[in-house]
Amino acid sequence: MFVETEQFARELEAMTESERQAAFERVGRWFADHAAHITHHAHLRPAETATTVRLEGAGPIVTDGPFVEGKEVVSGYAEVDVEDLDQALAIARDWPACPVVEIRPID
């Protein structure tokens, strides 16, 4: 999962159009370089577009917004098919965009 920080979002917003385009091209190259391992990926809409359903208590509670307010938000994800954590770490180490990558296994 790719995690944006507030600082990263401010820096991206402050970029010129050509700087932003170059940043997006670096991300595109990263996906191309690792295409053999990426089985699915998506960019998530901003956290403020989220709807959260809490399944606690007497019944579901639906609220607008993310499940937690924070300075870091998951902004996208890529599902990779790798042999082990070491291989996942090797792929994550050269991610060219937001400053945090969380790796989790799936069942």
Domain map (residue ranges) of the chain: 2-101
The secondary structure element, H or E, covering residue 43 is strand 38-43
DSSP state of 40: E
8 Å CB contact between 99 and 59: no
pLDDT for the residue 78: 96
| pLDDT profile of the chain (107 residues), mean per 10 | 92 96 97 97 88 86 77 90 96 94 91
pLDDT at position 25: 97
What pLDDT was estimated at residue 72?
A: 85
How far apart, in whole angstroms, are the C-alpha atoms of residue 15 and residue 70? Answer: 23
- pLDDT for 77: 94
Please classify residue 8 by burial: count the beta carbons closer than 10 Å to its beta carbon, then call 0-12 exposed, 13-18 middle and 19+ buried: middle
**pLDDT score for 39:** 96
d(CA 98, CA 51): 23
| CATH 3.30.70.1060 fits domain 2-101 | yes
Kindly state the tokens that stand for 1: 């999962």
Kindly tell me the sign of the dihedral angle through the C-alpha atoms of 38, 27, 3, 48: negative
